[in-house]
Amino acid sequence: MADANTIRTVGGSRAADIDAGLRAHMNKVYGQMSIGMLITALAAWAIAGLSITSDISAAATNAEGAVYALREGQFLTGLGQTLFASPLRFVVMFAPLAFIFFGWGALMSRGSAAAVQLGFFIFAAVMGVSMSSIFMVYTPYSIASTFLVTSIAFAGLSLYGYTTKRDLSAMGTFLMMGVIGLLIAMVVNMFLQSGPMMYAISALGILIFAGLTAYYTQDIKNTYVAHAHMGDQEWLDKAASDGALSLYISFLNMFQFLLMFMGSQE
């Protein structure tokens, strides 16, 4: 497998070019990821603001005329009722997952670099709509503090993945199997509604996506080094968007699982 050590085996000027290109590539990955995170945050905040009201006269009501109350002084608006108290909530919940499994691969293989980047940003916006429900469950302070903790952990894990000389590919394969098991457990717990099982899933989720953060970072780096000599900038730009998506998903999953432990609902 090609890795960053390949840089040392080529000529001095070529090695310098690859090294400079790698830094630019990683900056592009982190830049796109950061924009995606901003889009998600803005979309979640905007949808939550339109879905929650403190004005009971503006609250949505069910068939019996009772308002949809979240907590004392907070009620669902008509939009909130449509998104989160109707069957449409399953569309909101599973749309990002459907995009990853059925849309992203096709976009990567047939779309241009600009289309892939746009697809990532659209996905980030849809993810924000899906995540807006956290504002209905957790306090803004706990969301902000958990985001800060996640950011610090992500930075450390990604730095480890970038600098370590250990090959993490075997660990990545094992962790991807863990993601499949995690998804199955989450679907099962949707029916069981088990609190202890939810916390066990959250703990495993944190560990799995922490490991994947380091693995994805190393894989992005190694992929660039292996293909930089081909000079296909269009492909490298698409690879940067793909890497940004991988790290973005790892970050958001760590954040959501940590929120289950650290988040306050009061």
pLDDT digits (tens, 9 = 90+) for 93-124: 889 989 998 999 999 999 999 999 999 999 99
- Give the E-state strand segments of 30-103 in sequence order: 52-53, 69-71, 74-76
Q: Per-residue pLDDT averaged across 141-148, rounded? A: 94
Q: What pLDDT does 58 receive?
A: 82
The pLDDT > 90 percentage for the chain reads 59
Averaged pLDDT score across all residues of the chain:
89
Q: What pLDDT does 37 receive?
A: 97
- Reported as a single tens digit per residue, the pLDDT across 162-206 is 999 999 999 999 999 999 999 999 989 989 888 889 999 999 999
Task: Name the least confident of 21-25, 37-41, 228-232.
Answer: 228-232
Q: What pLDDT does 169 receive?
A: 92
- Indicate whether 260 pLDDT > 80: yes
- Indicate whether 89 pLDDT > 90: no
- Indicate whether 210 pLDDT > 50: yes
> CB neighbours (10 Å) of residue 36?
27
* Four-CA torsion 162, 177, 203, 186, nearest 10 degrees: 130
Residues 6+ apart with CB under 8 A from 5: 165
Asked if 119 contacts 107 with a C-beta cutoff of 8 angstroms, the reply is yes
- Indicate whether 72 pLDDT > 80: no
Q: What pLDDT does 2 receive?
A: 46
Asked if 91 contacts 7 with a C-beta cutoff of 8 angstroms, the reply is no
